[in-house]
């Protein structure tokens, strides 16, 4: 994680590579009246942006992201978003050419306080029209951002101004409402948090408040640009346009009250699952959830276009997996469209093919975990299918996977990675080295409770191949 100084240093750099499609058409004089756009080029999780003007609040931390600084102008909070092409590192060794805001996809998080008057300048440096829809906000109809319906599209090179009062506290998102299929598939989206202006009966104060967006991309191995026509069959399932092991862990202090806010701008639902703890869903897009409607969960399904806010007490030390429970979503490109070879004895076939193609490799006869450890040549600029090395070897994950790291020693306000958990003696699963008894037949095995009269059926004998003897994965 970079220091706050790095963050401030990055402020004020106007544009990054590939950005300036039509920048020249915004005149310098016109730009001088605007807050200067702040750009962030690193994919690291930035420390919370503690407010130094306006009403105070406990700021959020954006996973692999950052919060957009503002300036106060006669009591109005002014922000400047620049829609532009960006290069986003999704994990080490894999960069994607996306569209985003202020140097990154997703764009920076916008944080305000209930009752704030907010003015947002949006400059379009893309090659086509765009607009910004403030998903979930109460606002005047003409500020809602639907191109053609509420406003004309923002032409390339033009800057539009949105202004409204952040009327209700909660968790929101922003994204284009112009050529959405293309612009959202290219990564244009961001998070918005409105903090309550005073103690709120349904919004508890927390020690850590994390936010991130679920997004997805279809980028062929070796390619850089998402395929924008893909409807559901994406191959990169991302949190804030990052894939595991490129997603930072959520580092907290033992007994911290933790909040995580998750927004879904993919084209499918994601059951988000936390290990070791139970949480309450304390808020949705509609606002804080009434206390009588909360119940404990360990998985919550976040549907398309939805937001879920979960609260819990981090009272179990350790490194706890935190991931989407759709197992195809914890894999990167190349984990898809591969024939199932489990149990297929293709040793003979493989030998024949190896004579013709020496590099031919037998894939996944015993399962696919082996592939996490094999040194398979990949095209340049490709995320490993499933990878990440933990203290006990390969984690064998990709995509929407991270960890909640709970530590007694973590200082308040410290979000840095404490490294791997050191397990107390006797608290790690271990190998049984004694003898194994033969399996006994289930005692009640016999006639079913509801026998059915049938024509005699020819029994097919099925052989079960047990892979003992050649590996124990």
Rounded Cα–Cα distance for residues 252 and 209 (Å): 10
**Closer of 135 and 329 to Cu ion (Cβ):** 329
Rounded Cα–Cα distance for residues 98 and 80 (Å): 19
Q: Shortest approach of Cu ion to residue 410 CB, angstroms?
A: 28
Of the chain, the end-to-end C-alpha distance in Å amounts to 35
Please state, as a whole number, how many other Cβ atoms lie within 10 Å of the Cβ of residue 463.
5
Whether the CA torsion 266, 271, 274, 278 is positive or negative: it is positive
**DSSP string for 34-53:** SPPPP-----SPPPP---SS
CA 278 to the chain's CA centroid: 20
Rounded to whole angstroms, what are the CA distances from 209 to 102, 262, 415? 23, 11, 11
**Closer of 208 and 270 to Cu ion (Cβ):** 270
User: Nearest to residue 118, comparing CAs of 40, 35, 190?
Assistant: 35
**Closer of 236 and 280 to Cu ion (Cβ):** 236
Residue 3 tokens read as: 């220091």
Q: Shortest approach of Cu ion to residue 238 CB, angstroms?
A: 10
CB 261 within 8 A of CB 307: yes
Task: Give residues with Cβ within 8 angstroms of 2, minimum separation 6.
Answer: 42, 44, 46
**Closer of 122 and 324 to Cu ion (Cβ):** 324
DSSP-derived letter for residue 285 is: T
Q: Shortest approach of Cu ion to residue 270 CB, angstroms?
A: 3
Q: Shortest approach of Cu ion to residue 237 CB, angstroms?
A: 6
**Closer of 193 and 400 to Cu ion (Cβ):** 400
Strand duo 296-297 + 279-284: pairing: antiparallel
Q: Shortest approach of Cu ion to residue 401 CB, angstroms?
A: 10
Q: Shortest approach of Cu ion to residue 260 CB, angstroms?
A: 15
CA 14 to the chain's CA centroid: 27
Q: Shortest approach of Cu ion to residue 324 CB, angstroms?
A: 3
**Closer of 214 and 314 to Cu ion (Cβ):** 214
Q: Shortest approach of Cu ion to residue 180 CB, angstroms?
A: 20
Residues forming contacts to Cu ion in the complex (CB under 5 A) are 270, 324, 326, 329
Q: Shortest approach of Cu ion to residue 304 CB, angstroms?
A: 11
**Closer of 216 and 410 to Cu ion (Cβ):** 216
Q: Shortest approach of Cu ion to residue 235 CB, angstroms?
A: 13
CB 254 within 8 A of CB 406: yes
User: Nearest to residue 59, comparing CAs of 253, 256, 257, 205?
Assistant: 205
Rounded Cα–Cα distance for residues 84 and 417 (Å): 31
Rounded Cα–Cα distance for residues 353 and 268 (Å): 39
**Closer of 173 and 178 to Cu ion (Cβ):** 173
Strand duo 76-91 + 117-124: pairing: parallel
**Closer of 308 and 329 to Cu ion (Cβ):** 329
- What pairs with residue 190 in β-bridges? 174
**Closer of 203 and 331 to Cu ion (Cβ):** 331
């Amino acid at each position: 994680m970079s220091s706050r100084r790095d963050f401030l240093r990055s402020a004020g750099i106007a544009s990054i590579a590939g950005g300036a499609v039509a920048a020249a058409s915004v005149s310098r004089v016109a730009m001088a009246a605007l807050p200067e756009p702040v750009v962030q080029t690193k994919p690291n999780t930035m420390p919370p942006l503690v407010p130094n003007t306006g009403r105070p609040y406990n700021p959020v931390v954006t996973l692999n992201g950052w919060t957009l600084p503002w300036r106060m102008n006669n009591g109005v909070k002014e922000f400047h978003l620049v829609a532009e092409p960006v290069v986003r590192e999704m994990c080490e060794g894999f960069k994607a050419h996306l569209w985003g805001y202020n140097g990154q996809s997703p764009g920076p998080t916008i944080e305000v306080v209930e009752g704030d008057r907010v003015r947002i300048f949006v400059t379009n440096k893309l090659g086509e029209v765009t607009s910004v829809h403030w998903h979930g906000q109460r606002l005047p109809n003409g500020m809602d951002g639907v191109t053609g319906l509420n406003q004309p599209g923002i032409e390339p090179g033009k800057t539009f101004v949105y202004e409204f009062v952040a009327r209700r506290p909660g968790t929101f998102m922003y994204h284009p409402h112009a050529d959405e299929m293309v612009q959202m598939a290219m990564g244009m989206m961001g998070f918005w948090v409105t903090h309550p202006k005073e103690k709120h009966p349904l919004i508890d104060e927390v020690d850590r408040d994390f936010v991130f967006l679920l997004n997805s991309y279809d980028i062929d191995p070796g390619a850089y640009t998402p395929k924008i026509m893909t409807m559901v069959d994406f191959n990169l399932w991302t949190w804030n346009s990052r894939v595991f092991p490129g997603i930072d862990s959520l580092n907290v202090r033992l007994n911290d009250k933790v909040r995580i806010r998750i927004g879904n701008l993919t084209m499918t639902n994601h059951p988000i699952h936390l290990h070791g703890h139970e949480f309450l869903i304390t808020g949705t897009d509609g606002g804080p959830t009434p206390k009588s409607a909360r119940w404990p969960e360990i998985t919550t399904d976040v549907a398309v276009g939805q937001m879920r806010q979960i609260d819990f007490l981090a009272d179990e030390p350790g490194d706890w997996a935190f991931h989407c429970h759709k197992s195809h979503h914890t894999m990167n490109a190349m984990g898809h469209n591969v024939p199932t070879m489990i149990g297929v004895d293709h040793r003979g076939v493989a030998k024949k093919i190896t004579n013709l193609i020496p590099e031919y490799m037998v894939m996944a006869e015993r399962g696919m975990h082996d592939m996490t450890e094999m040194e398979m040549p990949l095209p340049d600029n490709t995320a490993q299918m499933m990878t990440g090395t933990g203290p006990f070897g390969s984690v064998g994950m990709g995509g929407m996977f991270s960890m909640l790291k709970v530590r007694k020693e973590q200082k308040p306000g410290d979000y840095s990675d404490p490294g791997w958990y050191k397990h107390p003696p006797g608290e790690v699963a271990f190998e049984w080295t004694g003898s194994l008894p033969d399996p006994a037949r289930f005692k009640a095995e016999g006639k079913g409770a509801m026998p059915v009269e049938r024509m005699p059926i020819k029994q097919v004998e099925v052989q079960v191949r047990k892979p003992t003897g050649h590996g124990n994965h």
